[in-house]
Amino acid sequence: MDRPFPPLYYSEYLQLDGLLDSQHRKSEEYGAPAHDEMLFIIVHQAYELWFKQILFEMDSVIGLLSAEPVEEAHIGMCVSRLHRVTEIQKVLIDQLRILETMTPLDFLDFRDFLFPASGFQSIQFRMLEIRLGLQSDSRLRYNQAAYHSRVSPQHRDQLIEAEQHPTMFDAIQSWLERTPFLETESYRFWDAYRSAVHEMLDADRSVIERNPTLSEEEKSVQLLGLGETTAHFDAVFDPSRHEALRTEGKLRLSHRATLAALFVSLYRDQPILAMPYRLIAALVDIDELMTTWRYRHALMVHRMIGTKIGTGGSSGYHYLKSTAESHRVFSDLTNLSTFLIPRTALPELPALVRDRLGFVHKSGSR
């Protein structure tokens, strides 16, 4: 049977002629060809291709999670695509090892030809940060200037325009806020959870106070830490306290979304919550891998140029290292572990709620 499509040639499909003719060494152009500049170009071009794929996956997930309503079947699709993103991120981290086969002296052979070009000008990476949900006012200042101050006017307009669109953070917060709280007329989960938490904290306090191996000073220190933990829990139970912490910039996720994410995390073993939990975990993984990449990149820059300024004029290593922790997006999801309690202390769910969280089949039912 003849196929209705014309024959396709591998090289033409992948447009390899253009792709493989896109590596032009500036050192060669200026009459001082540096061997390792070819590696430098190819690694960074590979980064841009992977950034394109990550943006493609994230845009699809944002679209699926922004639907009204979100189809249950689409949650698994979102998890699969975000898992793909994390696997790509691991490749991005590993690519630094390839780049580090170039020594600092090898880099100096062509570094001066690159000024003022810099990886800071990677529009796709900035788009990636924006899509995830990194807020403009949360960014570290780049030499006391806005993050888009060193890009072309066209790219600056693209970045500013991108900030007006829904982000992954917006999508996950909205999705969590729409998660129904599983309560019946005779059962309120948060009341039961609060009781379980108070029992756990009271038990911890008793263990500290009665521990014969601790000095009075050590007991005071541990009780102080327990008090801080109690204060964290109070923000979960008190919407106004939670909102105050959001205003102070210490929290970002809404109170309702936080409660939903916590419920999913606590009862992840329930069949219907298994996939939502994997979705939350995937976003935590992405955030962690972004932090890992930033830190590894900072170490590589330190190894290559020491404490010199970067080719784009930034403070190089110190700037990059600072962004590793300050540019995280899903810290509130990571911090959910603060509010977890042992499975043995979890409030037992009523049979009706368990049925709603499981896959129930009764003999003779249709």
Instruction: Supply the CATH number for residue 179's domain.
Output: 1.20.58.480
Do the domain assignments include residue 362?
A: no
Total structural domains within the chain: 1
The answer to whether 337 touches 280, Cβ cutoff 8 Å, is no
Per-residue confidence in pLDDT tens, the chain, 366 aa = 577 888 999 999 999 999 999 999 999 999 999 999 999 999 999 999 999 999 999 999 999 999 888 888 899 999 999 999 999 999 999 999 999 999 999 999 999 999 888 888 999 999 999 999 998 877 777 666 777 878 899 999 999 999 999 999 999 999 999 887 556 666 677 888 888 888 889 989 999 999 999 999 999 999 999 988 888 888 888 999 999 989 998 899 999 999 999 999 999 998 889 999 999 999 999 999 999 999 999 999 988 888 766 555 456 777 788 888 889 999 999 999 988 888 888 888 777 777 776 655 444 443
- Residue 365 has what pLDDT? 45
CA contacts within 13 A on the Cβ side of 226: 18
Answer whether residue 9 is part of any domain: no
Q: Which domain holds residue 185?
A: 14-357
Q: What is the pLDDT of residue 363?
A: 46
How far is residue 269's CA from residue 192's CA, in Å, rounded to a whole number?
Answer: 18
Distances (CA, A) of 333 to 1, 254, 269, 324: 54, 11, 18, 17
Going from the C-alpha of 58 to that of each of 61, 91, 94, the distances in angstroms are 5, 17, 21
pTM as predicted: 0.88
For residues 172 and 137, the answer to whether their CB atoms sit within 8 Å is: no
Residue 2 lies in a domain: no
Tokens 């379980």 — which residue? 196
Give pLDDT, residue 141: 72
Q: Tell me if 187 is assigned to some domain.
A: yes
pLDDT value of residue 64: 96
Answer whether residue 363 is part of any domain.
no
Query: Residue 150: inside a domain, yes or no?
Result: yes
**Residues 6+ positions from 90 with CB-CB distance below 8 Å:** 289
Instruction: Report if residue 113 sits inside a domain.
Output: yes
Task: Output the pLDDT for position 213.
Answer: 93
Other Cβ atoms less than 10 A from the Cβ of 14: the count is 11
286 part of a folded domain: yes
Alpha helix positions (H), 100-188:
104-108, 123-132, 153-162, 168-177
